[in-house]
């Protein structure tokens, strides 16, 4: 089957002859396809959120598998969850083809190593409570499929995310999410629309899960690591002032007394309000 992300885009075949403004504008407009692809998959994305919440509430984990752009998108999602929602690798983790070093330097051949992800999953002692999320633009990356197949032998639920009508990954997925973004502006460059759609989908999934796990207070980051830097300390002050009608001095004093643990401060103030 022809992979749509590998097809030649007939609308950009003369891109080398365009001026800079035309090129950049065309790329921008092409990204609309990513937004539309995610919109069409929202029922499946919502189902993924429900599966993950249920798993985490029972002590399971979510482990993303990916190579290249897909793996880096997954890594970005994971590393930001700890400072934002206090969700560490006991909740969300990632396995990237080529190892952590491929975050900063591409290791192209690693995606063909089907057993590479299996060995990493074994190191993490995965079990039937865990969910494996395989992310691959083509839908056929051996590194991703190998891990999904192995996980299923242990009773893990699997979610497949791809940018093509890919039957291989579908057969190994308990839940299959297609983000059909079509041919890239530059043929096969899935770091563009395909990667953007993947990032959008993971943003929706992890944020929804964090909310349902009680990691927010209303629409604020009640579990963020507000002691990390001055920007986050200021945000914590603003949250307490806005949500509990506190004066700045009062908010700063309460936070300082609690080592800038904003969740602890919120719980204290909620009891006072009662």
Output the pLDDT for position 202.
98
Structure tokens at 166: 């890919």
Residues with active-site annotation:
80, 111
* Sequence ranges of the domains in the chain: 4-212, 230-273
Per-residue pLDDT in tens (0 to 9) along the chain, 274 residues: 556 999 999 999 999 999 999 999 999 999 999 999 999 999 999 999 999 999 999 999 999 999 999 999 999 999 999 999 999 999 999 999 999 888 888 877 888 888 999 999 999 999 999 999 999 999 999 999 999 999 999 999 999 999 999 789 999 999 999 999 999 999 999 999 999 999 999 999 999 999 999 999 999 999 999 989 999 999 999 999 999 999 999 999 999 999 999 999 999 999 886 6
How high is the pLDDT of residue 41?
98
pLDDT value, residue 2: 57
pLDDT computed for residue 63 by the predictor: 98
**Chosen CATH of 4-212 out of 3.30.560.10, 3.30.479.10, 3.40.50.10490, 3.40.50.300:** 3.40.50.10490
Q: How many Cα atoms are found within 13 Å in the side-chain-facing hemisphere of 82? A: 11
Cβ(142)–Cβ(115) under 8 Å? no
Predicted local confidence at residue 169, as pLDDT: 95
- Say what the pLDDT of residue 108 is: 76
Cα dist from 79 to 94, 215, 266, whole Å: 9, 16, 25
Strands (DSSP E) found in the chain: 62-66, 92-96, 131-136, 157-162, 175-178
């Amino acid at each position: 089957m022809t992979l749509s992300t590998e097809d030649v885009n007939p609308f950009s075949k003369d891109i080398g002859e365009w001026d800079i403004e035309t090129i950049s504008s065309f790329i921008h407009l092409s990204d609309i396809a990513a937004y539309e692809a995610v919109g069409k998959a929202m029922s499946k994305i919502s189902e993924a959120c429900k599966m993950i919440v249920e798993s985490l509430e029972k002590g399971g984990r979510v482990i993303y598998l990916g190579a290249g752009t897909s793996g880096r998108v997954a890594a970005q999602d994971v590393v930001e969850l700890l400072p934002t929602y206090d969700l560490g690798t006991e909740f969300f983790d990632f396995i990237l083809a080529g190892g952590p070093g491929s975050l900063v330097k591409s290791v192209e051949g690693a995606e063909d190593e089907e057993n590479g992800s299996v060995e990493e999953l074994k190191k993490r002692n995965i079990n039937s409570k865990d969910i494996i999320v395989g992310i691959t633009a083509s839908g056929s990356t051996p590194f991703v499929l190998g891990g999904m197949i192995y996980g299923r032998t242990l009773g893990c639920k699997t979610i497949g995310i791809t940018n093509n009508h890919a039957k291989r990954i579908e057969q190994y997925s308990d839940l299959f999410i297609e983000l059909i973004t079509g041919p890239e502006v530059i043929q096969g460059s899935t770091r563009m629309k395909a990667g953007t759609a993947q990032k959008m989908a993971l943003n929706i999934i992890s944020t929804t899960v964090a909310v349902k796990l009680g990691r927010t207070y209303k629409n604020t980051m009640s579990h963020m690591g507000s002691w990390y830097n001055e920007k986050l300390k200021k945000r914590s002050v603003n949250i307490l002032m806005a949500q509990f009608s506190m004066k700045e001095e009062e908010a700063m004093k309460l936070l300082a007394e609690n080592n800038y643990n904003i969740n602890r401060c919120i719980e204290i103030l909620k009891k006072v309000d009662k």
